[in-house]
Amino acid sequence: NTMREPLYNQRFDDIYFSPEDGLAETRHVFLDGNDLPQAWRGKDHFTIVETGFGTGLNFLAAVKAFEATATDGQTLDFISFEKYPLDKDTIREGLQSWHDDIGEPLERMLAQYPLRVAGFHRIIYSAQIRLTLIFDDVNEAMPRLSIPRGVDAWFLDGFAPSKNPDMWSEALFSGIDRLSGPHSSIATFTAAGFVKRAIADIGFEVTKVRGFGRKREMITARREQAFDAVKVSQVKSVAIIGGGLAGTSCAYALKQYGIEPVIFEAGATLASGASGNMAGLYNPRFTAQRQSESDYYASAFAMAYRQMTLLQASQDIGFAPIGAMHLVNSPEKEKRYSALWENWGWHEDHLRIVNVDEASDIAGVPLEYSALFLPDSGAVSPAKLCEAYAQNIEVVLNASVIPERHGDGWRVHGRDFDAAVLTCGAGVVNMDGLEWLPVHTVRGQITKCTLTGAGFNTALCYGGYAAPLGDGEMICGSTFQKWRDDTDIAPEDDQDNIEKICAVVPSFKDSLEVVDHRAGLRVATQDHWPLIGSVPDYASWQSGDDKDHEGLYISAGHGSHGILSSLMGGFVIADILSGAPLSIGKDSAASVNPARFLERLRKKNQL
Ligand code: SAM
C-alpha cells in the first residue's frame, strides 16, 4: 500500500490522499472525526456533505461503514461537490491500492458515475444509499442545496487551505451554518487557524485532535441547535394519475425511494398518449446561457443516460446512445450553440462543436452544416421505456379518474392514498380548481421509413430530427402543430417530415419509403418549461395565503423533451414526498414549480 505514488493534482500542486495509506487516513479523519458509525446509530436518516469528491474514497469508506452497521430502513444521503471531476479510469487506478477493501463498492459507484456535465447528479447507489454529486465549484453550488432535514456530518476535504484558498471561503462556512441540522459535526484534515476560527464563528465547538500519519493535528467540531425541520409527512401510498412517461417515471422514482405507488391510466394500455411513440430522441433543451432551467435538463440528461443504461441491461427499451448531431443550419443556432458550448461547462467528451467534414464523417452521411455534437445522446423507445419504468408497480388500466380530497389524503377509484400526483398531461385541467394551469397540446406526427442505399450513424437534428433504427429503417419527425388536436394520420405530415430531412441530407432524396407513422399530442406550457412540484391552491393565492393543495403534486407539460424532463420530474416529486435533499438546485426546482405562473399573474395584477 505504501509503495504506490499517491494521486497528484497539478493544478493545486497537492495530493488526493495520504502517501502512507489513503483509506486509513479517510477512516481516521472523516469517519472517526465525525464519530461514525456511532453518530448514525438509531437515526432513520443521515446526511453527509463533503467538499471535494475526488476519487470518492471518502464516500466508499462511508459506504463500507454504513453497510456494515445500518439497520433495515435506515438511509444515508451522501452529497459531494467536485469542480474538476476525474474520469473513471483515473479513479479506478488512483484507488488500486485498496481494491481488496473497497473494490466492490467502487465498481458499483463507477457503474453509475455521471457524465462529466456541470450541475447536480442524483445517483441511487443502493436501496439505502443515495449519492448526490455536484460537479461545480462548492462556493457557487452550496447556496443551491436544499436539505430539509439538515446535514448531520461534514467532510471538509478539498486541497490544503494554503494550496486552495479560494475553496475555504466565507461562502463555504455560511453554507455550513445554513444547512447544518439539529446535531451536526465537522471533520477536516487541516488544522489551519483561520478554518478553526471560521468554524467557531458559526457556533461549532472546535476540538483539535491528532492528525493522521505525520500530520500532528486536525480539527473536529460539534454543534447542537434548535432546528426548524421542514415538516416531512410520512407518505406511504401515492396515486399516480396517468400512465405515460410522466406517470411511469414518477412511479419508478418513488419506488426507488421506498414508496409504493399505484398508477391509474385512463387508456387500455400504458403510454396510450404522446409517450407511446416507437422511438424518440432524448436531448436537453438548448439555451445560450447556463441557467436554472438548462441545469434541469443537464441533470436530466445525465440521469436518463444512467437509468436507461441500467434498464437496457435487463430488458430491451430500444436504448441506442448513437449520438446526436445538431446541425447549425441558421445564424441564430450558430450563436446559441457556440455560446452554449462555452457556458454550459460540459466536458468535451459529452458536447463539442464539429465542422462540416467531421460532422459528415461521424454521422456517416454528407452533411452541409457544422454541428453541435452530443455523443451520449440518442434514441429510445418511449413506449418500452414506460413499460420498463412500471415493472413491479401496480397499474390500474381503463381508469379515468380524478382524485378527490378525503380526510388527510386523496381518494382515487375508491381507494385511499396519502398523496396524488397528476401526470395526465392536458388532463390536469379537468380537476376542479386547476383550470388555470397553462397547458396546451401540440400535435406531432412521426414517420418511419425504409432507407435504401447507405444509412447513417447518429441522430440528426435540424429543427426536425431523424434517427437510424437499424435494419435499413429510420424514423423522422416531428410535425409541430398547435392548431390541430386530433391524432389521425395525415399523409401530408409524412411528406413534410421527409422533405425536411431531405433538405439537409439531399442524398436521401428518392431513397425513403414510408412504412409506418404515429401521431400524438405533446403537452406544453406557456413558457415551455415543465410543471413539477406541489399544486398551488389558486383561491388561496388570490387571498394572499399562497397555500398548496396538501398532498397534491404534478408532473406535466414536458413538451418535446419528455423523455428527459419526465424522469427528472419523477425524482423531484420523490424528493419532495420523502423529504430527501433536492436532486436539483433549489433555483431549478423553483423554475419548474407551477407557482411561477401565479407569481407572474400577481405581478401583472391579474390574480
Ligand atoms: N475526497 C477525495 C477522495 O476521496 O479522493 C479527495 C479530495 S482531494 C484532496 C480535493 C478535491 O477537491 C479535488 O478533487 C479537487 O478537484 C476538489 N476541489 C478543489 N477546489 C474545489 C472547489 N472550489 N469546489 C469543488 N471542488 C473542489
For residue 218, the CA-to-ligand 1 centroid distance in Å is 18
pLDDT at 138: 97
Nearest CA to ligand 1 atom 11: 52
**3 state DSSP class of 563:** helix
Residues 555, 113, 71, 21, CA torsion sign: negative
For position 230, what pLDDT does the model report? Answer: 67
The dihedral over CA atoms of 34, 227, 578, 275, expressed in degrees to the nearest 10, equals: -100
- How many of the other CB atoms lie within 10 Å of CB of 545? 9
pLDDT per residue as tens digits for the range 455-506: 899 999 999 999 999 889 999 989 998 888 889 999 999 999 999 999 999 9
Which whole-number Å values give the CA distances from 381 to 271, 407, 469, in the listed order?
11, 40, 10
Grade residue 213 by pLDDT with cuts at 50, 70 and 90.
confident
- 36 alpha-carbon distance from chain centroid: 29
- Contact assessment for residue 595 and residue 545, using Cβ atoms and an 8 Å cutoff: no
- Measure 54 CA to ligand 1 centroid, in angstroms: 5
Average pLDDT on 206-229 reads: 92
Cα 394 to middle of ligand 1, angstroms: 43
β-bridge pairing 394-396 and 260-264 = parallel
- What is the per-residue pLDDT across 290-313, written as a single tens digit (0 to 9) for each? 999 999 999 999 999 999 999 999
> What is the average per-residue pLDDT within 167-179?
96
Output the pLDDT for position 454: 82
* Ligand 1, atom 19, residue with closest C-alpha: 158
pLDDT at 1 over 50: no
What integer pLDDT is reported at residue 305 of this predicted model?
Answer: 98
- Ligand 1 contacts CB of residue 55 (under 6 A): yes
Which residues contact residue 439 at a Cβ distance below 8 angstroms, ignoring those fewer than 6 apart?
Answer: 425, 426, 428, 429, 523, 524, 525, 531, 556, 557
- Does the CB atom of residue 198 touch ligand 1 within 6 A? no
**Spacing, Cα 18 to ligand 1 middle (Å):** 14
CA of residue 317 to ligand 1 center, whole Å: 37
User: Quick one: average pLDDT of 510-538?
Assistant: 94
Separation CA 91–CA 105 (nearest Å): 13
CA distance linking residue 328 with residue 370, whole number of Å: 6
Q: Is 157 in the pocket of ligand 1 (CB under 6 A)?
A: yes
Q: Distance, CA 22 to ligand 1 centroid (Å)?
A: 14
What is the predicted pLDDT for the residue at 470?
87
Which cell goes with 438? Answer: 397553462
User: What pLDDT does residue 317 have?
Assistant: 97
C-alpha cell at 284: 436537453
Residue of 157, 162, 170 to test ligand 1 pocket, by largest number of atoms within 8 Å of CB? 157
Element (H, E) at 515: strand 512-525
Mean pLDDT of 540-560: 95
CA distance 505 to 556: 34
pLDDT at residue number 233: 67
Biggest alpha carbon–alpha carbon distance for the chain: 78
For position 265, what pLDDT does the model report? 97
Which phi and psi (to 5°) does residue 484 adopt?
-125, 130
The answer to whether the CB of 555 is under 6 A from ligand 1 is no
- Report the atom number in ligand 1 closest to the C-alpha of 60: 4
Q: Is the pLDDT of residue 231 over 90?
A: no
In angstroms, what CA-CA distances link 540 with 356, 549, 550?
Answer: 56, 9, 12
25 pocket-lining for ligand 1 (C-beta < 6 Å): no
User: Cell 386547476, residue?
Assistant: 434
Q: Is the shortest distance between the CB of 498 and ligand 1 below 6 Å?
A: no
Q: What is the mean pLDDT of residues 136-160?
A: 96
The yes-or-no verdict on residue 588 having pLDDT over 90 is yes
Pocket test for ligand 1, best of 91, 159, 162 (most atoms within 8 A of CB): 159
Higher pLDDT, 510 or 67: 67
Question: Is the pLDDT reported for residue 2 higher than 60?
Answer: no
Q: Average pLDDT for residues 384-401, to the nearest whole number?
A: 97
Pocket test for ligand 1, best of 21, 31, 51 (most atoms within 8 A of CB): 51
pLDDT band per the 50, 70, 90 thresholds, residue 275: confident
Which residue's alpha carbon is at the smallest distance from atom 17 of ligand 1?
52
Instruction: Report, as an integer, the average pLDDT of 39-61.
Output: 97
Q: Could you tell me if 218 and 186 are in contact, meaning their C-beta atoms sit under 8 angstroms apart?
A: no
Which residue's CA is the nearest one to ligand 1's atom 1? 53
At 225 the three-state DSSP class reads coil
Q: Please work out whether the CB of residue 78 comes within 6 Å of at least one atom of ligand 1.
A: no
State the closest ligand 1 atom to the C-alpha of 155, by its place in the atom list counted from 1.
Answer: 1
> What secondary structure does DSSP assign to 52-94, as a single string?
--TTSHHHHHHHHHHHHHPPTT-EEEEEEE-SSPPPHHHHHHH
What is the Å distance from ligand 1's center to 160 Cα?
10
Q: Which of 506, 503, 442, 513 is nearest to 478 (CA)?
A: 442
In this prediction, residues 378-384 reach a mean pLDDT of 96
Residue 175 Cβ < 6 Å to ligand 1 = no
Q: Is the CB of 82 under 6 A from ligand 1?
A: yes
Q: Which cell is 21 given?
A: 495509506
Count of beta carbons in the 10 Å neighbourhood of residue 205: 12
Q: Would you state the cell numbers that stand for residue 548, as one nine-digit string?
A: 398548496
| Cα–Cα distance for residue pair 531/432, rounded to 1 Å | 18
Task: Determine contact, residues 211/29, Cβ cutoff 8 Å.
Answer: yes
Cα–Cα distances in Å, from 35 out to 152, 227, 372, 541? 11, 21, 49, 46
Task: Output the average pLDDT for the chain.
Answer: 95
Query: What's the grid cell of residue 355?
Result: 465542422
